[in-house]
A and B are shown apart, each in its own frame.
Chain A
């Protein structure tokens, strides 16, 4: 089974600064999808950004961008101009591109604190 590792249980960042959350994964597959989900105190899981493994270009969504290194099996999330509303638990997730049993595998999460 695929594994997703988030080695930073907690991170903090000053408001308006930039922070990078790390994620590595282990897979023998060549085609897959990677996601970052945010879980604020409201508990709801919200999709932040998605990356297709076959695309070399890093995905970007406004202040959120990723650094996808396929050979290194690394998928970090960069949050620029951090805002108080970015404070949340962030989960990295992997999903196989195969149709059958294509469940998500989640990391253990990184708790992000934004300091005013």
Chain B
């Protein structure tokens, strides 16, 4: 168990809908990262937050947004969902945001858009 908690584990929804994925980092970790894993794109970095502030942005669509709250948990909001958004969404955390830090991953949220 990595200590990173993601909910829900599975999510099935329809095109055009909006969903929220939740992540609780390991106790004491200040950084949260979101990744999308799909069969055709592999693991893609979406966004990183450090102590409540956005630190780095990757290939995140405008329909997607995220935030990190004062208690350090994070939420990834996906709106106007399309079939192609079906993927496994990972959250990871680390204590800081130094490049040598290890990331600890949650078990992911499997999103299916029908």
Contact B99 A95 (CB under 8 A): yes
Question: How many interface residues does A have (CB within 8 Å)?
Answer: 27
Q: Please report the C-alpha to C-alpha distance between residue A43 and residue B58 in the assembled complex, in whole angstroms.
A: 22
A99 and B97 contact, Cβ closer than 8 Å, known pairs A44-B2, A44-B105, A104-B45 = yes
Q: Is the CB–CB distance between A108 and B42 below 8 Å?
A: yes
The answer on a CB contact under 8 Å between B99 and A45 is no
> Bound complex: CA of A74 vs CA of B86, how far in Å?
33
Q: Nearest Cβ in chain B — how far from A12, in angstroms?
A: 21
- Give the distance to chain A from B71, nearest Cβ to Cβ, in Å: 23
Residues of chain B from 37 to 93 with CB closer than 8 A to chain A in the complex: 42-43, 45, 48, 56-58, 88, 90, 92
Q: Are B99 and A43 in contact (CB under 8 A)?
A: no
CB-based contact B98/A99 at 8 Å: yes
Q: A99-B99, A102-B99, A108-B42 are in contact. Are A44 and B48 (CB under 8 A)?
A: no
Q: Is residue B107 contacting chain A, with contact meaning CB distance below 8 A?
A: yes
B residues apposed to A, CB below 8 Å: 2, 33, 35, 42-43, 45, 48, 56-58, 88, 90, 92, 97-100, 102-108, 110
Q: Return the chain A residue nearest B39 by Cβ.
A: A108
Q: Please report the C-alpha to C-alpha distance between residue A99 and residue B101 in the assembled complex, in whole angstroms.
A: 11
The 4 tightest CB contacts between A and B, nearest first, are: A45-B105, A106-B43, A103-B45, A102-B99
Question: What residues of chain A lie closer than 8 Å to B33, measured between beta carbons?
Answer: 103-104
* B107 and A33 within 8 A (CB): no
